[in-house]
Structure 1
Amino acid sequence: MADGSVTTARVEVRGLWHRPAVRIAILYLAARVITTLFFFGASALSGIGSRFGLHAAFGTLVMGWDAQWYWFTAENGYPSTLPLTPDGKVQENQWAFLPLYPYLSKIIGVPLGGWPIAAVLVSLVAGYLACLVLYRMLTRKLDTTAATWAVVFFASGPLAALFQVGYAEALFLLWLMLALWLVMRRRYGWLYLLVPLMGFTRPGILAFALFLGLFGIWRWLTRAREPLPAREIVHIVALAALSTIVGFAWQVIAQIATGDPGAYLKTELAWRRNWIPDAASNFLPFDGFIVGTRFWAGMWGWGAVTGFVVLALGIIAIAAALIFEPHVKRLGMELRLWSASYLVYLLAVFFPQSSIFRLLLPLSPMWGAVAAPKSTAWRVAVLLACVAGQWWWIYNMYALANTYWQIP
């Protein structure tokens, strides 16, 4: 009788494990335990040179850096007059932070006891749901074991701390994963909601507009293999247009609220002056990477030519991987086009510094290519590298926390 009960219990446990929602929840929570331990380690190692001070509290770390800006935005809204430096340049201010995450956390925080608790909860829940959608998305191209490993890498990766801090990344990743999954399934209706959600969570919706444009061209060129009905053409064109409109909407809102046509871009460029005090006050596409490459090459003693050669080789290597690498090709054209679109977007708008690691998170569907090789030794090695990378990132960004070299 007892043996029968034990056997039944084992069968039930195995049955639960085979349910993706349960399996991924267990793996995700295990990853969050590791991240929490790393944060406590960073707290103990935080020194007088860190922006957080000696032995910073755990709560101070998870609410550090941009989490403070999101919190400040939720409590104070957006300025109607741009704050200026003594020499008349726009200072860092709330217009750089899109409104959905801070205000959603503020609403949820009312019954929970405050914004910080709600902000972390939103990140935690969104991170889990993003993992679940990533699994569903990858099982269209990979077997369940490979898809599960990809989720493990995603949940435990070098930037996994962002699933439990007051940053908008986890929420944006949830919207993005859902959007890509829907495109892969040719289900476009919900995208009319997801595009604005993405666009008002964090920057990046213009990359999605580019992706939809490239995706539409690809669908047209391959219509002989997969029929392209008129209604799908209408959806792709309409969604690309909507993504473009949403992508510029925040700039228009900032202009209306402040009376300054360049309010948003001037605010974004204010952060660049932390590295280049005399940086241009007007935004030019691709200028950030050009100026940044020259700047960092000089800092590292390479010389500008060497810096641009390294950048060009990096771009060529990434392009080759997206076009030719077999495991990447297995993920399908949709995820490859998204990755290419997002990388072009980063090259167009970003000034390279330590935040580049965080800004690469929207490439997370590529974990599927890393998990695709059917080698347990390889997968375990990748997982160990992910966990080691996570500690390296948390140690640098939250224990050392130098405002010049270590910004998450």
Structure 2
Amino acid sequence: MADGLITGSRPSVRNEVSAATPLSRARAIVDRLPWWAQVLLIFVASRLVSTALLLGFAGAQATNPWTVSRPDYASFAKIWDGQWYYIVAQIGYPSVLPLTADGHVAQNQWAFLPVYPVVTRGLMELTGASFAPTAVFVSVLAAAATALVFSRILVRFLPAGSALFGVLLFCVAPLSPLLQVAYAESLFLLLLAVALLLLLQRRYGLMLLVLAVASFTRPGVIAFALALALHWGHRYLRRETEPFPPRERLKVGVVAIATGVFGLAWPVVAAIATGRLDAYTATELSWRADYIGYGHLLPFTSWVQGANWWVPGGAGVVFLVVAVVLFGLFLVTPWARRLPIDLRFWVVAYVLYLLAVFFPQSSTFRVLMPIFPLLGALAVPRSKVFRVSLVAVFVIAQWIWLYYCWWVNGYDWTPP
């Protein structure tokens, strides 16, 4: 490896042998493994940590709307949105939207896209296994594959050891327990990582096929169309130093438009299936009704509404502005600028998408997971103290997130 995973420098083979400590011998063995084995070793170790945390909370879990007290791992991994994916896998989507007592669209399956439950159902049919363990298996397998693909992205701009540390950050990130529960995040992150790698490789046609599947896995692919538009503009401006011939301009433009169409496909499917044009958006808006009541989706207003709901009196809006400014400043730091411009285009496009349509609540942390390429920026510093401290903070944050967002403690208004 070009540098050490934690320390940032790799001792010579002679020093490793002369030290003859168990740690140095173990490290020498790991260093001789192929890159994919090193990534999977990190992934497996991180899953042991997250599994221990999840089992600890499951052991303390009281009876709740989804499970009995002290549920087994698979049952505990199927709560919250996992139950909605279970419903989709079992019965599909309603042709008639359910309504509340006052005539508004109620929460229903149309908010949960079909690829993940369909893949899970297919494996259930093949193996005879039940939904929960099969869904967890799909998530874990997809997460492992994501770690492998993310490694291939990181080595394009980081030394090998720093790239491995970036993978470690992905595997132990505060919301990494979601990589092993009945949620579609793992599968979506895999498809997104593959699409980003293909974008960096300029393999636009294959990338479009991946995005087509992703558009029916989780919302957000529409943001990739904006990222591609930024990519097109950047390549055009730099056409004197990096050739961007007319034929390729046309290809990227067509792929960007097609990606936008795919990003809007699921709302169209919902409209056709239910006979109601706003079937999907009305369904999504039902989840914020408990906060601000029912209303219409007005782009770029949800965060202002959320800021005023969480911190009334204008202070919330000030906090929102400060957060956006600080995020923008981070993107121009030397660490973030180590990321390829296309990765930064994706991050900017996705954050703009969230600012346009998402209402901030406890699941905000989850919907921010697709900006995981920024972990590559945190892998730039080689300080041992920084790296060890960051991993420790991430693991502690896992416990905090599980306590406040996953574990069901009485009346719980912090869904993950």
Q: Same fold (TM over 0.5)?
A: yes
User: Is residue 62–residue 409 contact of structure 2 (8 Å, CA) maintained in 1?
Assistant: no
2:310 corresponding residue in structure 1: 296
1:187 aligns with 2:203: yes
Q: What pairs up with 1:244-393 in 2 under 5 angstroms?
A: 244-276=260-292, 278-280=293-295, 282-298=296-312, 303=313, 305-322=314-331, 324-393=332-401
Q: State the structure with bigger RCO (CA 8 A, min sep 6), 1 or 2.
A: 1
User: Is residue 157–residue 387 contact of structure 1 (8 Å, CA) maintained in 2?
Assistant: yes
Q: Which amino acid aligns with 2:318?
A: V
Deviation at 1:15, TM superposition (A): 7.4
Q: What number of residue pairs does the alignment pair up? A: 391
Question: What secondary structure is seen at the aligned counterpart in 2 of 1:155?
Answer: helix
Deviation at 1:213, TM superposition (A): 0.8
> Closer, same or farther in 2 for the Cα pair 1:15/1:383, shift >3 Å?
closer
Distance in 2 (CA, whole Å) between partners of 1:240 and 1:390 is: 36
Q: Deviations over 1:158-192 (max 9, x none)?
A: 11111110100000000111111111111212112
When the two chains are superposed, the root-mean-square deviation of aligned CA atoms in Å is 1.9
- Structure 1 length-normalised TM: 0.92
Distance in 2 (CA, whole Å) between partners of 1:403 and 1:337 is: 40
> Closer, same or farther in 2 for the Cα pair 1:393/1:65, shift >3 Å?
same
User: Is residue 187–residue 217 contact of structure 2 (8 Å, CA) maintained in 1?
Assistant: yes
> Closer, same or farther in 2 for the Cα pair 1:49/1:143, shift >3 Å?
same
Distance in 2 (CA, whole Å) between partners of 1:81 and 1:143 is: 54
1:6 corresponding residue in structure 2: none
Distance in 2 (CA, whole Å) between partners of 1:100 and 1:403 is: 31
Deviation at 1:151, TM superposition (A): 0.4
> Closer, same or farther in 2 for the Cα pair 1:326/1:16, shift >3 Å?
closer
User: Is residue 46–residue 399 contact of structure 1 (8 Å, CA) maintained in 2?
Assistant: yes
Q: Which amino acid aligns with 2:86?
A: W
Q: Which runs of 5+ in 2 are unaligned?
A: 1-24
Q: What pairs up with 1:159-198 in 2 under 5 angstroms?
A: 159-198=175-214
Q: Deviations over 1:280-300 (max 9, x none)?
A: 1x21112221211111112xx
Distance in 1 (CA, whole Å) between partners of 2:406 and 2:366 is: 14
User: Is residue 104–residue 294 contact of structure 2 (8 Å, CA) maintained in 1?
Assistant: no
1:69 corresponding residue in structure 2: 84
User: Is residue 251–residue 263 contact of structure 1 (8 Å, CA) maintained in 2?
Assistant: yes
Q: Deviations over 1:286-340 (max 9, x none)?
A: 2221211111112xxxx2x211111111111111211x20010011211111111
1:105 aligns with 2:114: no
Q: What pairs up with 1:39-188 in 2 under 5 angstroms?
A: 39-47=54-62, 52=67, 54-112=69-127, 113-188=129-204
Distance in 2 (CA, whole Å) between partners of 1:382 and 1:225 is: 39
Distance in 2 (CA, whole Å) between partners of 1:256 and 1:50 is: 32
Deviation at 1:60, TM superposition (A): 2.2
Deviation at 1:229, TM superposition (A): 2.2
Q: Deviations over 1:29-55 (max 9, x none)?
A: 111111111011111222468975643
Distance in 1 (CA, whole Å) between partners of 2:131 and 2:370 is: 25
2:14 corresponding residue in structure 1: none
Q: Deviations over 1:258-295 (max 9, x none)?
A: 1101100000001111222x331x21112221211111
Question: What secondary structure is seen at the aligned counterpart in 2 of 1:274?
Answer: helix
> Closer, same or farther in 2 for the Cα pair 1:50/1:145, shift >3 Å?
farther
Q: Which amino acid aligns with 2:286?
A: A
Distance in 1 (CA, whole Å) between partners of 2:373 and 2:254 is: 25
| Identical columns (%) | 38
User: Is residue 85–residue 112 contact of structure 2 (8 Å, CA) maintained in 1?
Assistant: yes
Q: Which amino acid aligns with 2:240?
A: A
Q: Deviations over 1:49-70 (max 9, x none)?
A: 8975643432221011001000
